[in-house]
Amino acid sequence: MIAENLKQVLNELPAGVRLVAVSKFHPNEAIEEAYRAGQRIFGESKVQEMDAKHESLPQDIEWHFIGHLQTNKVKYIVPYVALIHGIDSYKLLAEVDKQAAKANRTVRCLLQLYIAQEETKFGFSFEECREMLQAGEWKNLHNVQICGLMGMASNTDNVEQIRKEFCSLHEFFEEVKSTWFAGSDSFKELSMGMSHDYHEAIAAGSTLVRVGSKIFGERNY
């Protein structure tokens, strides 16, 4: 069933959009089934869980950290993580840089923007992000690479609101790219869209969709 679900989602993705299979709270067996079907990018939101899976699953899996990352946990994932989606403060970005230097790596990161009409989401406001980039301290961090932006739309049935939130993030992405990353080929990722709204996200310019329940079924909390 997982392989069939995966195939169905992949068939809906246009060229240039990649799938992060959100495997958090699902067992290794489920990931292995998706892996056998060809999936290589998996997303986790708990450091301890991702560590355990990284140790026990195939080493060519590209692990994306998609949850809220605490600074004291950064050191555990920096040696192997492929992309951190949720950088929501300069302090966190600087800590990733510090730990990446110790691991002799450059870690790819996305800045998380708060676009939802909810109190539960993390991220920079557009203005906070502009201020952080304008301050320029991030330019002195040599072991992180800012590759784009990430955001989560409101958890609502109002499709028009979801579209509006995604479009606002896409517009902000274009602003950030032209203002601070115009010469950077690596600033190209826009991570938005989950199982219930990835079609709207793709229409608004997403390059990475984070799909879990549509592939693996409902999560086992």
- CATH code: domain of residue 210: 3.20.20.10
**Quick check: 19 and 209 in contact, CB under 8 A?**
yes
Q: 181 burial class (0-12, 13-18, 19+ CB within 10 angstroms)?
A: middle
Has residue 118 got a pLDDT over 90?
no
What single-letter amino acid sits at 91? Answer: K
Q: What is the sign, positive or negative, of the torsion defined by CA atoms of 210, 220, 52, 57?
A: negative
Confidence of residue 130 (pLDDT cuts 50, 70, 90): very high
Residue 61 belongs to some domain of the structure: yes
Give tens-digit pLDDT for 24-63: 999 999 999 999 999 999 999 999 999 999 999 999 999 9
pTM over 0.85: yes
Residue 178 lies in domain = 2-216
Split into its structural domains, the chain has a count of 1
Helix axes 159-180, 126-135, angle to 10 degrees: 10
Residue 221 belongs to some domain of the structure: no
Q: What is the pLDDT averaged over residues 109-131?
A: 91
Residue 36 belongs to some domain of the structure: yes
Give tens-digit pLDDT for 145-195: 999 999 999 999 999 999 999 999 999 999 999 999 999 999 999 999 999
Confidence of residue 117 (pLDDT cuts 50, 70, 90): confident
Nearest to 63 by CA among 48, 53, 71, 72: 53
Has residue 3 got a pLDDT over 90?
yes
Q: 125 burial class (0-12, 13-18, 19+ CB within 10 angstroms)?
A: exposed
Has residue 119 got a pLDDT over 90?
no
